[in-house]
Amino acid sequence: MTTLTVTFTLNGKPVSLRVDPAARLLDTLRYQLALTGTKEGCGEGECGACTVYLDGLPVNSCLIPIYQVRGHRVETIESLDPGALEPFERCGATQCGACTPGVVMTAWWIREHVDLLRTHSIRELMAGNLCRCTGYDGIVESVAEALRESASRKREA
């Protein structure tokens, strides 16, 4: 099998590895780099369980060919502060956990880009993360709570 070398920045550190050119970013993360926090759900870009950041934007890693991340910046759920999960646990927005890493990734992105809420609702921004256990009100409330906490922490600082 021909392989190709990809070099990119993963969770702040440079990585360089030989990959199958047919691998998706998701496959490389999970099976080559053992970063199994990123989940595969639908495999067609609908459910958002495989959400990671590519150059700072949430993307479905099941739809990214590995050769397209060369020279780019990727962040996975493993890079986030574990505290990012707390509001979801408090609001009953977690159950089986399959969607949770993706949900938390999108939620954290919103928290880091609150200006988006001038034009978008939390619900619209979270629409790319499907959850079949808890329903969505808890998820939306968790994101709202995370935003309130982040704002009050900024005020105190």
Partner 1 sequence: MNVMSPGSVREALDLLASDGAAVPIAGGTDLLVHWPVRVEAHERTYVDLSRLDSLRPLRWTADELLLGGLTTYWDVIRDDRASQEFPLLVDAARQVGAIQIQARGTWAGNIVNASPAADGVPVLMAYDAVVVLESRRGREEVPLDRFYSGYKEMKRRPDQLVVGIRLPRRRYSYQVFEKVGARRAQAIAKVGLAITRSGAGWRVVAASVAPTIRRCPAVERLLETGTPIASPEALRPAIAQDVAPIDDIRSSAQYRTHVMAQVLYHDLGDFWGKRA
Nearer to partner 1, 61 or 94 (CB): 61
Backbone angles phi, psi at 25, to 5 degrees: -55, -40
Over the window 64 to 103, marking each residue x when it contacts partner 1 by CB under 8 A and - when it does not, the resulting string is xx-xx-x---------------------------------
Least Cα distance to 58 among 96, 104, 100 occurs for 104
Q: How far is the CB of 157 from partner 1 (least distance, A)?
A: 28
- Binding residue for partner 1, selected from 5, 21, 36, 137, defined by CB under 8 A: 21
DSSP string computed for 97-110 = -SSHHHHHHHHHHH
With contacts defined by CB under 8 A, name the span among 19-27, 80-88, 93-101, 146-154 that binds partner 1: 19-27
43 touches partner 1 by CB under 8 A: yes
Amino acid residing at 132: R
Cβ neighbourhood burial of 37 (10 Å; 0-12, 13-18, 19+): middle
How many Å apart are CA 101 and CA 48, to the nearest integer?
Answer: 9
Contacting positions for partner 1 (CB under 8 A): 4, 21-22, 24, 27, 43-46, 48, 51, 54, 57-60, 62-65, 67-68, 70, 106, 109, 124-130
